[in-house]
Amino acid sequence: MSELSINTTQNVRINFKAASVGERMWASLLDLLIKVAYVIAVAYVFFYLLGVDRLVGSMKDMWSRIAIIILFFFPVMIYSVALESIFEGQTIGKKLVKIKVVKIDGYQAGFGDYLIRWLFRIVENNMLGGLIGLVAMIVNSKTQRMGDVAAGTAVITLKNNISIDHTILEEIGEAYVPIYPLVIKLSDNDMRIIKETFLVAENKNDFETIDKLTKKIESVTGIKNQSGFQIDFIKTILKDYNFYTQNM
């Protein structure tokens, strides 16, 4: 399993483990089984029980017949791009195997990225029995297939041992009183980057980075540091975010 380094917008390097070829194939197999189950269910209910196949067969226009068939099986066609967009980089198979699509620049992948991966999958998985996609992952050090390279994405494993210090979560007591309500202007991804940057800078006594991070938070949210101490300010920001998001 290869190491995958992602440089965030704050120039902090975060190390992940790239999903292995085996994990990606296992996730793809689970997704395939789900799609096959859907096709069997649709064929049985609509074409066997309800006799839709007879209706389709009675149509004289070939394009109308094709349109109806595509309508029924359209969810299978857009399965990966739709679920990855909804579940932020995961299909059901990826969730079960605990792998996820991420951008290699530290940003959250978006619909356009998932769409590019989906378009390339049509070629990679359907030509030569999927051999093209398999070879691409094997020869790539980050197990990226061509769609990942084109979209600037990679698939990582979520099976690492993660403590609370590696997440956006902060331990807060029941009696905790937040100070900065405007912190909700930030997103989970913003907070992840802030926390990773802060922990690295604090560990290295990099006060210049902490100063820049403080000013960036203030400029984006409109919050003013009331404590006077930048380290305390950032720690409060992390706790406040968790307070408000847990109680929204």
Return the residue matching tokens 């064929």: 43
pLDDT score of 96: 93
Dist. CA 95–CA 90, nearest whole Å? 6
Given a contact cutoff of 8 angstroms between Cβ atoms, the answer to whether 168 and 242 are in contact is yes
pTM of the model: 0.59
Given a contact cutoff of 8 angstroms between Cβ atoms, the answer to whether 103 and 14 are in contact is no
The SS3 call for residue 175 is: coil
Question: Which DSSP helix (H) or strand (E) runs through 102?
Answer: strand 99-103
pLDDT score of 164: 38
Residue pLDDT, tens place only, 148-184: 999 999 888 877 544 434 445 555 666 777 888 888 8
pLDDT score of 56: 60
Given a contact cutoff of 8 angstroms between Cβ atoms, the answer to whether 99 and 115 are in contact is no
User: Residues of the chain whose pLDDT is less than 70?
Assistant: 1-15, 51-61, 65, 105-108, 126-129, 160-174, 246-248
N-term to C-term CA, the chain: 38
pLDDT score of 106: 56
Taking CA 183 as the corner, what is the angle to CA 181 and CA 185, rounded to the nearest 5 degrees?
Answer: 110
pLDDT score of 78: 92
The SS3 call for residue 17 is: strand
- How many CA atoms, within 13 angstroms, populate the side-chain half-sphere of residue 2? 17
Dist. CA 186–CA 188, nearest whole Å? 7
